[in-house]
């Protein structure tokens, strides 16, 4: 039996920067500024320690991959939505939308290829604001010609802002409010 290869985030966006670490925890041998980030590929939440002298701002993009990191010394590990600071939760929506816009081609591919999940439910219907009406408009339009970008999708399917709808879906998945995962990795 073949083992599946573990996938890691390469880049992430800073949600919160805690220069003195988390309140109420003892400083350990991995002392330093604590950051909470969200990965740009799987939307994984991570906590990490910033290098001495490195000051990060919310929404900064940082390398968190396996190779040598310039701004981070150590990845502490994965965390859940409930482990995020209140500031990180406030920054999450805007950061997720930024990731969606930066990965526009990937999300457009989802709209161009999404299939039924069950006999009564299509993958497109899992996105907030997309019911049967918009689902059929999207399917009819993509059958004529694949969507080129989010603006093309919005105009041809006559639907509200697709990046905001995708962002809402990602946030639901990250908060554990959804049975199905379209865009995020299970915690």
For residue 140, report the phi and psi dihedrals to the nearest 5 degrees.
-60, -45
Assess whether the region 11-95 and the region 103-174 belong to the same CATH fold: no
Options 1.10.150.280, 3.60.110.10, 1.10.4080.10, 3.40.630.40; CATH of 103-174:
1.10.150.280
Structure-block tokens of residue 136: 């059929």
- pLDDT, averaged per 10 consecutive residues of the chain (187 residues), comes to 65 95 58 91 96 93 94 94 96 97 97 94 95 95 97 94 97 93 87
**CB-based contact 179:149 (threshold 8 Å):** no
With residue 76 as reference, give the H or E element that holds it. Answer: strand 72-78
The CATH homologous superfamily to which domain 11-95 belongs is Nucleic acid-binding proteins (2.40.50.140)
Residue-level pLDDT at 32:
79
Strands (DSSP E) found in 92-166 = 116-118, 121-122
Residue-level pLDDT at 2:
47
Structure-block tokens of residue 110: 């989802």
Structure-block tokens of residue 10: 């390469």
**CB-based contact 171:93 (threshold 8 Å):** yes
The Cα 37–Cα 9 span in angstroms is 11
The Cα 34–Cα 22 span in angstroms is 7
Spans of all domains in the chain: 11-95, 103-174
Orientation angle between helical segments 132-144 and 104-113, nearest 10 degrees: 100
Residue-level pLDDT at 20:
84
Length of the chain in terms of residues written: 187
The Cα 129–Cα 56 span in angstroms is 35
Structure-block tokens of residue 171: 């946030």
């Amino acid at each position: 039996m073949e083992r599946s290869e573990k996938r890691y985030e390469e880049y992430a966006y800073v949600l919160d920067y805690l220069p003195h670490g988390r309140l109420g925890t003892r400083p350990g041998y991995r002392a330093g500024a604590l950051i909470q980030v969200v990965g740009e590929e799987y939307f994984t939440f991570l906590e990490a320690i910033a290098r001495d002298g490195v000051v990060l701002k919310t929404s900064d993009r940082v390398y968190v991959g396996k190779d040598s990191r310039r701004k981070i010394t150590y990845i502490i590990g994965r965390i859940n939505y409930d482990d995020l600071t209140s500031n990180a939760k406030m920054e999450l929506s805007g950061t997720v939308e930024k990731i969606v816009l930066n990965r526009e081609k990937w999300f457009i591919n989802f709209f161009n290829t999404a299939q039924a999940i069950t006999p009564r439910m299509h993958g497109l219907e899992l996105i907030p604001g997309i019911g049967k009406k918009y689902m059929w408009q999207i399917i009819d339009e993509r059958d004529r010609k694949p969507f080129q970008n989010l603006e093309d999708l919005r105009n041809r399917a006559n639907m509200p802002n697709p990046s905001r709808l995708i962002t809402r879906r990602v946030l639901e998945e990250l908060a554990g409010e959804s049975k199905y995962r379209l865009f995020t990795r299970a915690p």
